[in-house]
Structure formats: C-alpha cells, structure tokens
Amino acid sequence: MNSQTTPQDMQVDLESEFRASNVQEVLDKLDRELVGLKPVKTRIREIAALLLVDRLRKQLNLTSATPTLHMNFTGNPGTGKTTVAVRMGEILKRLGYVREGHLVTVTRDDLVGQYIGHTAPKTKEVIKKAMGGVLFIDEAYYLYKPENERDYGQESIEILLQVMENNRDDLVVILAGYKDKMDRFFLSNPGMRSRIAHHIDFPDYAPAELLAIAKLMLAGLNYRFSAEGEQAFAEYIDLRMKLPHFANARSIRNALDRARLRQANRLFARRGRPLTKEDLMTIEAEDVRASRVFQEGRPDGDAADDES
C-alpha cells in the first residue's frame, strides 16, 4: 500500500484553525458591545467564515483571487457602524487578511482639497495611514458633488478606486452613510459600486433595545437606574424618538450624560448628609424627568449634540 499522501488526501482541521485564530473572541466582544443588529452580526460571521475557509484553501494550494472585502455600511447615526468597522479590522488581522487591522476614520474634508493639486496628496496620505488596516469613510456620498464644476472629489474617488483594486490584499475600504444618499452615490459612480462586495444595512434600534443600550452604558460607568429611573428613561426614549435629530445610541449616550449631570447637582444640593455608594451610583427618575423632552417637548442641548 502506498503510504505517500497525495494532495487529494490531505486534510485540514477547520475547528482547530478557528480556535487558533481567536476570531471567536472578537465576535463575542461584538455581541457584548452591540445590542440587537442580528443581520449585521450574521454577515460579519459569514465574512469571517469566508476568510477562514480561504486560509485553509491556500494551505492545500487551492489558489484563487483574494476575496474582495470592501464594504458599504448604511443606516442612521448611532446604529453601531463604527464599532463594527473596528471589530472587522481585528477579524481581518487575526485571519491574516491585513497586516495591522487598525481603523482610520475620515470624511470628505480629509480627502478632498480646495484647489488644483491639493486633493491627490491628501488622499494618498490618508491611504498610506490606512494601509494594512481599514479605511472608514463616513458620509462618503459627499465625495461626489456633480453640481459643482470646480469640485475635486472625483479626483479622490479615482485614486480610491485604483487602490481598492490593486491593494485589496492589505486594505479594506468601508463607505458609510444614509442609505438613500449612498444609493444615489453608487448610481453616479458605477466603478465604486463594482468594487464593493458587501452592502450591510444597520437598522434603527427599537425602544426596548435602546433601553438595554442605556443600561449597558451606565453599567460601563458604574451607574445604574433605580426602578423608577428606568421607567422614566423608557418614557424618555418613547418621547425622544418622535423628535427631530434622533441619533439612536448617540442620543441615548447624550441623554445619559445629562442625567448624570443632574444627578451630581441633585447630590450636591443635599450635601449636608453623608452619601452612600448606592447614592453615587443611582440615576433616579427626577434626574431623567428634568429633561426638556418632558418639559417642553424638545431635546436637551443643541440638536448638533445628538448628532456628534
């Protein structure tokens, strides 16, 4: 009997490879960090599986083109797009797709110049910083302004297209923005659409999910709601979602910051008595209900605060 192993007889252990990559650690972290978003998390797991299988194929000399992983994240502000991009970078590094796995986040202003000869060096410098990791372009539709004949965004797009094609084995570009605006952007830039392999939509959070997010945020800061405070915040969410400039988790974070501010002032006003650990940790209903959402039917602070 021939003891030599032929290429057809060779085997690889997918489970062992998966454990060795420590990708599960990143996926678990994503589950802890983000409430809901099941379709998004499913797609990230599918991409991780694709890369893992591709890695095993290479071990058996089943060569093929490097998978294209440039992505388009669509959704409203505060739906977790940046967090997913960060974890995607970690997955790519652990599976050997990129060298570093870091995230570079930019907008149009970081890429496009204001005069002739300014755009190319700006764009190339950003790409140089992002190489080996993930380049996240927020509000990417602003790169293209057809109404302005002297706009230099198209020059930046052309440079990006070339890099996305020629350096896809060491750079993943993620475009992000509102879905309708990104759809129009792709209609105007078919070359960009052809290079995007994964379109992932981030849905708005439901009220119960936003309350769970609030509790997670507070726990991370060593705060918590009282029972009455939690009920008040649930009512706050219902009211705030109906007002302009609602930004999902971002608006929740800003609301909690203001609730903590009110809690501190409430405790300071009663400084004549000793404070317990419970006092210092607890957000009460009055800390929530003092919001202008309850008083005047409008958000606390400037509208821009909820979009930052």
Question: Residue 208 — φ and ψ, nearest 5°?
Answer: -65, -35
Please answer whether residues 138 and 202 qualify as being in contact, where contact means their C-beta atoms are separated by less than 8 angstroms.
Answer: no
Which parts of the chain have pLDDT scores under 70?
1-9, 149, 301-308
**What domains does the chain contain, in order, with CATH numbers?**
14-202 (3.40.50.300), 207-307 (1.10.8.60)
pLDDT at 232: 97
Listing DSSP states for the chain in one string gives ---PPPTTT----HHHHHHHHTHHHHHHHHHHH-SS-HHHHHHHHHHHHHHHHHHHHHHTT---PPPP--EEEEE-TTSSHHHHHHHHHHHHHHTTSSSS--EEEE-HHHH--SSTTTHHHHHHHHHHHHTTSEEEEETGGGG--TT-TT--HHHHHHHHHHHHHHSTTT-EEEEEE-HHHHHHHHHH-HHHHHH--EEEEEPPPPHHHHHHHHHHHHHHTT-EE-HHHHHHHHHHHHHHTTSTT--THHHHHHHHHHHHHHHHHHHHHTTTS---HHHHHEEPHHHHHTSHHHHTSS-SS-GGGGG-
Single out the residue of 192, 205, 189 nearest to residue 81, CA to CA.
205
**In the Cβ-directed half-sphere of 159, how many Cα atoms lie within 13 Å?**
19
Segment 145-173, tens digit of pLDDT: 877 767 888 899 999 999 999 998 889 99
